Amino acid sequence: MQIMIFGQIDLILLLASLMVASTPILLAALGELVVEKAGVLNLGVEGMMITGAVVGFAVGVNTQSPAVGFLAAALAGALLSLLFGLITQYLKSNQVATGLALTLFGLGLSSLLGKPYEGVKAATLGKMHLPFLSDIPVLGPILFRHDPMVYLSILAVVAVWAFLTYTRPGLILRAVGENHEAAHALGYKVVRVRLLAILFGGAMAGLGGAYVSLVRVPQWTEGMTAGAGWIALAIVVFASWRPLRVLIGAYLFGGVSVLQLNLQAAGVAIPVEYLSSSPYLVTILVLVIISLRGQHGAPGSLGRIFHASS
Amino acid sequence: MKLKLERRAAPSALVSGATPVLAVIATMIAGGVMFWALGANPAEAIRIIFWDPLFGDFASYTRGQLLIKAGPLILIAIGLSLGFKAGIWNIGAEGQYIIGAVVGAGVGLAFYPTESRLIFPLMVLAGAFGGWAWAMIPALLKTRLGTNEILVSLMLVYVAQNILASMSTGLLRNPDGMGFPGSRNIARDFPAAANPELIAGTGIHWGVVAALIAVIFAYVLMTRHRMGFQIRLAGEAPKAARFGGVRPRRLILFTLGMGGALAGLAGLFEVAGPAGQISIDFNSGYGFTAIIVAFLGRLHPLGILLAGLLMALTYIGGELAQTMIGMPAAAIQLFQGMLLFFLLAMDVFANYRIRLGRTEVKA
pLDDT in tens, B318-337: 888 888 888 888 888 888 88
Put simply, whether A278 touches B (Cβ < 8 Å) is no
Which chain B residues are closer than 8 Å to A106 by Cβ? 337
Put simply, whether A141 touches B (Cβ < 8 Å) is no
% of chain B residues with pLDDT over 70:
98
For residue A46, give the nearest of A107, A89, A98, A115 by alpha carbon.
A107
ipTM for this prediction: 0.86
A302 assigned to some structural domain = no
Compare CB distances from A92 to B89, B330, B351 and report the shortest one's residue.
B351
The pLDDT of residue A1 is 36
Contacts of A22 (CB under 8 A, 6+ apart): A250, A251, A253, A254, A255
Least confident of A102-106, B238-242, B301-305: B238-242
The pLDDT of residue A75 is 97
The pLDDT of residue B359 is 54
A239 assigned to some structural domain = yes
Is the Cβ pair A284, B156 closer than 8 Å? yes
A300 assigned to some structural domain = no
A301 assigned to some structural domain = no
B200/chain A closest Cα distance in angstroms? 34
Put simply, whether A277 touches B (Cβ < 8 Å) is yes
Confidence class for position A4, pLDDT limits 50, 70, 90 = very low
Q: Work out how many domains chain A is built from and give that number.
A: 1
Is the Cβ pair A109, B334 closer than 8 Å? yes
> Residue B8: how many CA atoms within 13 Å on its side-chain side?
16
Q: What is the enclosing helix (H) or strand (E) of B357?
A: strand B352-357
A164 assigned to some structural domain = yes
Q: Classify B75 as helix, strand or coil.
A: helix
A298 assigned to some structural domain = no
Confidence class for position B357, pLDDT limits 50, 70, 90 = low
Q: Which of residues 67-96 of A touch B (CB under 8 A)?
A: 83, 87, 91-94, 96
Average pLDDT along chain A: 87
The pLDDT of residue B360 is 54
Which chain A residues are closer than 8 Å to B33 by Cβ? none
Is the Cβ pair A104, B146 closer than 8 Å? no
A98 assigned to some structural domain = yes
* Cα radius of gyration rounded to whole Å, chain B: 22
Average pLDDT along chain B: 88
The pLDDT of residue A250 is 93
Mean pLDDT of B91-98: 95
Confidence class for position A12, pLDDT limits 50, 70, 90 = confident
A305/chain B closest Cα distance in angstroms? 12
The number of angstroms, rounded, from the C-alpha of A50 to the middle of its chain's C-alpha atoms is 11
pLDDT at B362 over 80: no
For residue B251, give the nearest of B241, B266, B243, B261 by alpha carbon.
B241
B348/chain A closest Cα distance in angstroms? 5
Task: Write out the DSSP string of B145-158.
Answer: H---HHHHHHHHHH
The number of angstroms, rounded, from the C-alpha of B67 to the middle of its chain's C-alpha atoms is 13
Is the Cβ pair A309, B330 closer than 8 Å? no
CA distance A219 to B32: 31
Is the Cβ pair B328, A106 closer than 8 Å? no
pLDDT in tens, A39-85: 999 999 999 999 999 999 999 999 988 899 999 999 999 999 999 99
pLDDT at A120 over 70: yes
Is the Cβ pair B340, A104 closer than 8 Å? yes
What is the domain range of residue A275? 2-125+138-293
> With b meaning 16 or more CB within 10 Å and e meaning fewer, what string describes A215-236?
bbebbbeeebbbbbbbbbbbbb
A259 assigned to some structural domain = yes
Name the residue with higher pLDDT: A129 or B265: B265
Which chain A residues are closer than 8 Å to B235 by Cβ? none
- For residue A78, give the CATH number of its domain: 1.10.3470
Which chain B residues are closer than 8 Å to A233 by Cβ? 151
Neighbouring CB atoms inside 10 A of B17's CB total 13
- The distance in angstroms from the start CA to the end CA of chain B is 19
The pLDDT of residue A258 is 86
The pLDDT of residue A3 is 42
pLDDT in tens, B167-210: 988 888 888 877 788 888 888 888 888 888 888 878 889 999 99
Contact A16, A141 (CB under 8 A): yes
Is the Cβ pair B341, A295 closer than 8 Å? no
Compare CB distances from B334 to A112, A281, A307 and report the shortest one's residue.
A112
